[in-house]
Structure formats: C-alpha cells, structure tokens
Structure 1
C-alpha cells in the first residue's frame, strides 16, 4: 500500500470512529489560487490552497475532479456546502450558474494545504481557459473532489492495472498529459517495473516536458505543429504504427463487434477489466481520436478489449459540462 493510500485509510478509520463519515464520496471545497507556474507555451500549473484541502484525497494519478468557474456575471462560484450542491447549481439562472469542467489532480499535499491542477492554455475560448488566461493569486474557485473522510472508495479514476503487469501502453493528448505524467512517476517507484511506453500528442514542439519516469520508460512526444497534424492524428498514428502491441495480436485476427458511441451526445468511457497481467493500455484524449483507436484495436485487430481503457476526455467543438 502506498503512503497516500495509507493516509487515506487512516482518515477513513478516524471518520468511522468519530462518526464523521459522509454519505457522498465527493464534496465541495473552497479553494483559491496560490501560485501560477508556467510549464510550456500551452501548459501551466495552478497551485490551489484552502483550509479544507487537508480533507481532500486522491487515489490514483488520473484522479478526476470538477472545477467550478466564475459565472457569466463575473462572480466567483459560491455554491453552498450543505445539501445537494449539484441540484442548487442546476436551479440557478444561466447568468449566475458557475460553469463546471473536469480536471485531473496533478499533486496533492494535504499537510501544506496545496493541490496542483495543470491547465491547457488555449486563449479565451471558453470559461475555463478564459479564467486560466487571466487568473492571478487570490482568485477563488470551488472544486468537487474526493472526501478523505468517506469510508469507501471514492471512484473517479481509471488507472487500475492488474498486479504484476508486464507491459503498459499510455496514449493521450495534452488533456491527458497530467495523468500520464503521474502514471509514469508511479511506475518509476514500483519494485518490479513493467515495460512502459507513452505517446503524448501536444500542440507544439516546445510543449515537451521533462517527466520523472523510469530510465527504461519510452516517452514519445508527438507535436502537432511539427507533424502537420490535426487534433488526434498523432494519437492515432501512435496506436497504428508506433506502439508495441501484444505479439499474439499483431496480425488481424477475429475482428470483434464493438458498440459504437455517439460521441457528439455521449461520453466515450470503455474501461479495462484485465484477465491477465501481460498487457494493459490506457488511452485518453479527444473523443474522435480515442474512438478511432478503439475501432482499430478491437474491431480490426481483434485485441482483447478487457486489457484496454478508452476515455474520451473532450470532444472537439463541444463543451462537456
């Protein structure tokens, strides 16, 4: 058990003994921006703080949270902690309803009351990116994150490789970069490290980051500007041409019938349920690209879908609230 998991377990035991356990695995946290750290032309790390961050928890490198941003009237989110915050938000008029977007916890330091979230910067193209473009220390948001006092597993993460996994394949775009970076950091401290390959599509050549990973890990950057690609084309090329796939399934076998997902109205979320520890793939990013990879691997190559996780983090041209 990791140090983070041990701390979370201790918090849960304390909650059960003191009667503080909540019915919900996630809760609302008031946070404010403490520091803004540029990472690359397209990426920045935002360090948030708040007294209740000590109560927050994270269970995996791809732990998802919701951030609530200032509403159209310019006011920071102020949803009440009591009662059903989601119902309260839905009842607000559009002008006063805080926009909500999904992000990944990059790092959590409970003792220091700090939680890091990495943002993709793409100008004033939506409420989240607009806020990130102009945000300064002291600006306030709200975050919906796992409650460390919840006695069960909070969920909200999909990195769940089988014990003793031997080959890990990670494919994603810039929105999946925080999770991939965290996964590589975790793999680097495993006593029996698997063979790990990562393919990361980013907007620019200058968006390459120095990631902490095992020396033998293969980290491949796929910049769209130098490749002349549209969104997702680097990811698809990695899946079809560059990644090392299980040898027994390299040649097209028995194509499997897969259920198509209408990615314009539904979220593509197809999770692995590994039957063995030979191979495990984690794919996340723009939904059309993830769908194309899913269709190729499962529908055309006949790969074992139980070893594959496909997550449409976002859809080009649409906002998923």
Structure 2
C-alpha cells in the first residue's frame, strides 16, 4: 500500500467540547478545546485522531496509559467499567491560536458509540485525544490522482481538497463521492470538480464502483480510496487488476464495514 505520514510521538490528553453545530440532518460538527492543541502539529491534510469517549453513564473519561503505543491494548488494561470507547475521526480544522479542532461526525443513531456520543454531545463534555497520523501522501510527480470516498470519508476528503494538496499546479485530480442522497452533500473546494453519486438504499459502492470502472481515466499515478471496507477494497482491486496501477501508489482504508458497528 502507499506509505502514510509517520509520527514520532503520539500525544494523548483530555479535551472538552466547546461547541456543537449541526451542518445537516446527518452531519454534526463538534469543536473541542485543549491547551495542548496550541502545540499540536498535523502532518497532513487528512490527519485523524482517536476520540476517547466515556462509557455510557460516566461523565468523565478515564485515560489509558500513554506509554503503550497500541492504544487498544492500553484500553484493555483498564478496569472494564472504566474503559473508554475509541473511534477515529479526521481533524477537519485545527486552530492552534485558540487550541481548537473541528471534527465532523456522521450521525446514524445509536448504531455505534461514536454516533451515540456525538448525538448527545454538549459544551463542557469531556473526552480524550490520542494522536494519529495523515494518510494522504502522494509521491512527488504524481500528476493524475484519483480520490474516492463515501459519506464517512467525506470530511477527510473535504479537508484534502480545501488544503489545495489534491490539485497542486501541474496535476489533474479525479474525485468521486458516493452518498445515500443529496442531503449528505457537503461544500468542498470549488476549484476541484467532484462527481457526486447517490446510492439510495443500495449497498455502499453500488454507484461508485461502476462509475470508476466506466470512467475514461488516464494512467493513475496515485489513488486515495476511503470509506466502507468493501467499497475501498473493491476500488483497489479494480485499479490493480484492470488498470495496472502499482499497489504502492494506492492508499485505501475501510472506515467501516457494512453490518458492523462503524469504527
């Protein structure tokens, strides 16, 4: 797979909810504050982090040991009734001058702990932050870039497009987004054309995979494919088998899996 950005230190700290804004029926923006965020450095436009949420019925979050590189192992070492829920989200925007980050969370009821927590989030609520890394890292000279996402990867895609790193001078990005319907659309960088696809009640990938297969694309120099697991792996398989794209130039990530709680 294509390499991702490396991070030497994975910071961990508490932060509080500063504001909650509903961007649409299905998308909630939560703004967090922490003094440590004034010193945080992102290493790419789609950097993600681990959101540590108190278990149901708890107001405060118990932080796992920061000494363990594997945060899930550190969580399992805690008493069962104190273990926080962990889900990974994109840092949509970092404002170091005030120690804030915006995080856009797709709402889907109580189907998973992230959506359940976000649906009830209020200013003053406490959570934990565990640093992650960025995945979008096209190699130098990658002119023709393919970016594809579903609704869960749309915040990361929007951050990439807004950063200008999807279409630096001399490059040609090809961007596809599949969402259930128009209500899931978000504003993205106006200077990059986006093919919006609507699957309705069909399975993830039912519109995106055929659209990419049918697209008249040049040789793809780099691909960023994120969203539902089968969608991302299906796109990767098509690029490798049918278009001859080098696996080392494809970044793909399953943000969630159909039939399982989103992670």
Give the TM-score band, short-chain normalised.
0.7 to 0.9
Instruction: Please list, as runs of the form range in 1=range in 2, the aligned pairs for 1:1-321 lying within 5 A after superposition.
Output: 25-79=9-63, 83-84=67-68, 86=71, 87-145=73-131, 156-187=133-164, 192-214=169-191, 217-225=192-200, 228-242=201-215, 244-246=216-218, 279-319=221-261
Q: 1:82 to 1:280 in 2, by over 3 A?
A: closer
Whole-Å separation in 2 of the counterparts to 1:316 and 1:68: 23
C-alpha contact 1:56 1:145 (8 A) present in aligned 2: no
Structure 2: gaps of 5 or more residues: 1-6
TM-score computed with the length of structure 2 as normaliser: 0.87
- How many Å apart are 1:81 and its aligned residue? 6.5
Report how many aligned residue pairs link the two structures: 255
- How many Å apart are 1:96 and its aligned residue? 2.0
- How many Å apart are 1:82 and its aligned residue? 6.0
- How many Å apart are 1:124 and its aligned residue? 1.1
Q: 1:170 to 1:24 in 2, by over 3 A?
A: closer
Please tell me the root mean square deviation across aligned C-alpha atoms, in Å.
2.4
Whole-Å separation in 2 of the counterparts to 1:196 and 1:280: 10
TM-score computed with the length of structure 1 as normaliser: 0.72
Q: 1:64 to 1:202 in 2, by over 3 A?
A: same
Counterpart of 2:3? none
- How many Å apart are 1:88 and its aligned residue? 4.5
Q: Which has the higher contact order (CA 8 A, sep 6+)?
A: 2
Question: Which structure dedicates a bigger proportion of its chain to helix?
Answer: 1
168-177 or 191-200, which deviates more: 191-200
- How many Å apart are 1:95 and its aligned residue? 2.7
Q: Rg bigger for which structure? A: 1
